[in-house]
Amino acid sequence: MSKVIKFKYSDRELHRKAVEIRMKVFVEEQQVEANIEVEHEEEATHFLLYYHKKPVATARYRFTAKGVKLERFAMLKEFRGKGLGNNLLRYVLNDSRKHQQKIYLNAQEQVVGYYAKFGFKSKGDPFDEANIQHYLMEYQPENLKDKALEKAICRR
């Protein structure tokens, strides 16, 4: 059983748990510099996904001049491949849609296809971010499955 919790930076305990997950995934696994990983914390809306009462994934979004930027999706390695990331992405998308702004993200090359399944479209050429190839992707649901996601009700 999984559950997503939405929180702000001011909830220091939940924020600490989210940063621990991001450090394991981005800094330890992917060799991203720690100082790059912890930026824009105060202005973001954060999320933690719990699986059997254990925090196993995190994400956040923040407002930029371009719209709502989804970022820092991270799942502990031992919990990948169980469909849990789908729950987190749906929850974050549903929450961010209420702002009625363009929704976008910078996807690592290996997960472009994953985000495409949820209605994201790649825009432009690949670029380097933290020594990892990324693609700008914008949320543009076209099929009925994606449009149904727009109307889904998330548990709060």
- pLDDT of the residue at 36: 80
Residue 148 predicted with pLDDT over 70: no
Residue 154 predicted with pLDDT over 80: no
Collapse the DSSP code of 61 into the 3-class scheme (helix H, G, I; strand E, B; otherwise coil) and give the result. strand
Would you state the CATH architecture of domain 2-151?
3-Layer(aba) Sandwich (3.40)
3-state helix, strand, coil in the chain (%, to 5): 35, 35, 30
Q: What is the pLDDT of residues 107-118, one digit of tens each?
A: 999 999 999 999
- pLDDT of the residue at 144: 42
For the chain, percent of residues with pLDDT exceeding 70: 90
Higher confidence at residue 144 or residue 12? 12
Cα distance between residue 122 and residue 126, in whole Å? 9
Amino acid (one-letter) located at 50 = Y
Dihedral over alpha carbons 24, 29, 35, 39 (to 10 degrees): -70
Rounded mean pLDDT, 83-92? 94
Rounded mean pLDDT, 121-129? 91
Crossing angle for the helix pair 144-151 and 84-97, to the nearest 10 degrees: 70
Give the domain ranges of the chain.
2-151
pTM (2 d.p.): 0.87
